[in-house]
Amino acid sequence: MKKLDLLYDHYKETIKLSCDTQKKRGNLFVFFCIFELFNFSMLLFPNEIAASISQYIYSKYSIGFSFNITIIQSAIWIAITYIMIRYYQTNIYIERQYGYISRLEDKVAKIIKEPCFKRESENYLNNYPAVLDVIHVFYTWVIPILIIAINVIKSIMEWVNLVNIFGVLFDTLCCVFCVILTIMYLIMIHPRVHS
């Protein structure tokens, strides 16, 4: 097999994997937003949500069960923590692939002596629209800062409305982990530029 064929096949597989991972990231982001919204709703309407979940289970399965708010809050924190981990892992993977894809395109472009092959690297950055810069700021600054703010406020409110000390301690640990993870994520995607 020729070097060009091998590189091009690898390039195609890498692009497909990147596209699949970007779809996964989109789905994770939607689930993450839903659970964050649910977490914020628990801050405003905890009793109503617990009653709604109990009523839903009764209407669906004819089982009478009264949910403890602490259990629901902890379950939401577990889901948020898990989805956040998966979202950040997926996003970091995608970010790390850009340099690799650029190097692959460069190698193939040199072999075929065709600079226009650099679709995902140089050509992507040519005439980069300002609207994409705004979207980038939204995803890489606004969303992470909102995540930190919502989760910290939610955690503080759980302490103010203390129902179960062990549940609130567990939720606080989840919150602290999410905040640390988000700060580390921000540092990773916004590296300091040394002059």
One pLDDT digit (tens) per residue for the chain, 195 residues: 588 888 888 888 998 999 999 999 999 999 999 999 988 888 888 888 888 888 888 888 888 776 678 888 899 999 999 999 999 999 999 988 988 888 888 888 888 887 777 666 666 666 778 898 899 899 999 999 999 999 999 999 999 988 889 999 999 999 999 999 999 999 998 877 554
**If you search the block for the tokens 């989840």, which residue do you land on?**
174
Residue type, 136: H
Query: Buried b vs exposed e over 94-121: b needs ≥16 C-beta within 10 Å?
Result: beebeeebbebbebbbeeeeeeebbebb
Task: State the Cα–Cα distance between residues 21 and 40, nearest whole angstrom.
Answer: 28
Tell me the pTM: 0.85
Task: State the Cα–Cα distance between residues 2 and 5, nearest whole angstrom.
Answer: 5
CA 131 to centroid of chain Cα atoms: 21
Instruction: Please report the pLDDT score of residue 167 as a whole number.
Output: 92
Task: State the Cα–Cα distance between residues 124 and 15, nearest whole angstrom.
Answer: 14
